[in-house]
A and B are shown apart, each in its own frame.
Chain A
Amino acid sequence: MARKLLSGIVALILVAGFIMISGQAMAAEEKKPEQFVGILAYRTGPFAAGGSGFSSGMEDFMALINARGGINGKIMYKWEECETAYNTARGVECYNRFKDKMAYVHPLSTGITYALIPKGTEDKIVIISSGYGRADASDGRVFPWVFTTPTNYWSQNTAKIKWIAMKEGWDGKDMANIGKYLKGLKIANLHIDVPYGQETKPILDSMSEKFGFKVRHFPVPWPGIDQKAQWLDIARRYKADWVINRNWGVSCTIPLKEAARLGFPREKILGVWWCGAEEDAMPAGPAAKGYYSTNFHGVGRDFPIIQEVVDKVYGAMKGNIAFTRVGTVYYNRGFIAGILNHEAILTAQKKFGIKVLTGEEFRWGMENLNVTVERIKEIGAEGLMQPMHNTWQDHEGGGVVFYQQWDGEKWVSTGEVITPMREYVRGLIEKSAAKYAKEKGIKLRTGP
């Protein structure tokens, strides 16, 4: 047996070596200097829909820029993927694998973001957590290397409450009388019982005190495949007026099914943006019709820049994902992350010259990022992304929240664009960031 095993191992190594050499031979020939991008992806496991869509969207955008001749025509994107399987330890390994080569990274998981924040600060690598991770990282004075551009969870939740008030009849203008419409409303915060899900509990509690609505938190234990008890409670005992669906992966889909089963109107469920993808609503079938979700970018393919990707990248058979998924929510999210990086690079290159950027230079680009409405039009992403304007203090930049509704087959934008309660959120962020700074002994930055 042992001999068989040994010869088996030797054969395996030989085959592996051979394939490796031939694989590398194929990946030869390169000329222009390259900006390296390390991608932490998760294409397997329970959250594969999110991970594969996001990273493919970003890669497709970079492929488009390369097809156009590179960044400013001089520098090509070069990227490599590392599979994290949504596992923190593996994510850290991936980060370490790439850290000598890359300037910025999208950790793409709450756990990995938390683990990378101190590391990125030390290694001078920008951590961009678009719409996830620590909300208080929007404070650039405490977290110089972390960006939550364009928005974070806390902003999102204030926008959600504003939206709910609007659905209850508020005109959306006068913040002074918003309380009148919210008073006595019962809101159920259905969240997955992991740190990510709990993150918005404090802000909802604080808003409920401020505006006089009631909020109750319904934790769903991981992985959340069974939420019957929670839903019976929400629909039959607590009798909630509104439900905030703050889940992730499969646990986003179940609430729709359960609501249908109990006859709870789907129009009264509002999802977090990680519960607002095709993959979340589709499996629920007809039960999902009418479900609302937030978002921070547009959906669909009807944008000039995505059309260009369809022509130039998929036309040349260089796409990174099944063609049917182009234009889906996660794909677009990765795509605008690509645009965001690209704009920051362009900004930085204006100051530092056209070259391969380091982490510090890229950070300068992020802090001086100003994507105006005109610029968005120029890119061809009108309606796809929101204007963003970062400063050295404000790492959130954009902050408007879009709304979309599932019509049974696809997501349709409702056209509402709601600005969060920015000063209110900013106050909370600064407070929380100051607490973090005190715990860690971080000195506040006083200038860029």
Chain B
Amino acid sequence: MTFFFEVLVTGLMVGIMYSLVALGFVLIFKASEVFNMAQGAMSLFAGLALVGFLDQYLQLPLWLALLCTVAVMTIWAYAIVFIVLKPLVARPPLMLFMATFGVAYLMEGIGQSIYGTQAKGLNLGIPDTPIVIGGIFMSTFDLFFTGVAAILVIGLVWFFQKTRTGRALRAVSDDHEAALSVGIPLLKAWTITWIVAGVVATVAGVAWGTRLGVQFSLTYIALKSLPVLIIGGLDSIPGAIIAGLIVGAGENLGEVFIGPYVGGGIQTFFPYLLALIVLYFRPYGLFGKEIIERV
């Protein structure tokens, strides 16, 4: 039974890591209805930039390196919004989806040209040793990032609910044209969203980068967070967190307790099965905004 809880707890903590990635998707989808395929590439670029500032090219202290990385992601946000998205305003969402696909190629190529293709270690000095609570092995590292994710979510919710900019962003996400007509600058709102998404991508890049090493495979974390998105709802921040927990726990329990009977290796598609079940009952995810269509 301890083992069951151990798997469960571990799964929940992986889930938080998925949520970190999913948050970036959600933010952008909320504000601009763009399904951002470049989210993984953004995390990769942020990770690469951070390593570059930390020890590859400059030996900056951690806080400064993080700040510089965020600055780099801000530049990207401006570039994406003004070069790519601006000409595509009011186009069908599929086109925007495809454009971000191109952006992903661009980011991967540019990032790896500057920083090289080999895997780089990223060590923040957080120990990754097990601590035992009630017979359950837990990693300090995972606990740390669970905390970071919690802070991030609280921060984002506060930002969207309480600040003026946040409210403006919500207005934009509800209805572009109505927001424009009450005087909210659309492009500015988008830029802010992309900057925030860049920050989230940086956090995800750091969290996963310390696990995997900073290398191309960081882009795959986006793939792993897709089922989280549809379970939670494409436009819900708390949804992303809760779905992350469900997916993390589900895939780990599934792999450990069902996997051996069917040959193992099922954790890639198991979350999708969960998602299909959830979507059967709630076609817009657990917390997604239901789209009411009229003829």
Residues of chain A at the chain B interface (Cβ within 8 Å): 43-46, 48-49, 52-53, 193, 217-223, 225-226, 228-230, 232-233, 236-237, 249-250, 253-254, 257, 260-263, 279-280, 282-287, 322, 325
Contact = CB atoms under 8 A, between A and B. Distances in A.
A52 B215 CA distance: 14
A321 to B, nearest CB: 10
Interface string B1-21: 001001100110010000000
A49 B14 contact: no
Contacts of A49: 117-119, 215
A43 B108 CA distance: 12
A46 B216 contact: yes
Contacts of A287: 128
A322 B213 CA distance: 19
Given A225-B217, A279-B119, 6 more contacts: A48-B216, A49-B118, A217-B264, A225-B221, A226-B267, A287-B128
Interface majority SS (helix, strand, loop, mixed), chain A: helix
B185 interface: no
Contacts of A217: 264
Given A228-B11, A263-B130, A223 B121 contact: no
Contacts of A221: 265-268
B119 A282 contact: yes
A261 B130 contact: yes
B119 A283 contact: yes
Interface in B253-289: 254-256, 259-260, 263-268
B144 interface: no
Given A253-B213, A279-B118, A282-B121, A219 B264 contact: yes
A237 B10 CA distance: 14
A233 B256 CA distance: 6
A399 to B, nearest CB: 30
B128 A257 contact: yes
Which are the 10 A-B pairs with shortest beta-carbon distances?
Answer: A283-B213, A219-B265, A250-B217, A229-B255, A48-B117, A221-B268, A193-B265, A261-B139, A229-B252, A219-B264
Contacts of A262: 130, 137
B221 to A, nearest CB: 6
A49 B116 CA distance: 10
A296 to B, nearest CB: 21
Contacts of B141: 261
Contact of B118 (A228, A284, A325): A325
Nearest to B252: A229
Contacts of B220: 46, 223, 225, 250
Contacts of B137: 236, 261-263
A161 B176 CA distance: 65
Interface string B40-67: 0000000000000000000000000000
B224 interface: yes
Contacts of B212: 225, 250, 253-254, 283
A61 B256 CA distance: 47
A83 to B, nearest CB: 12
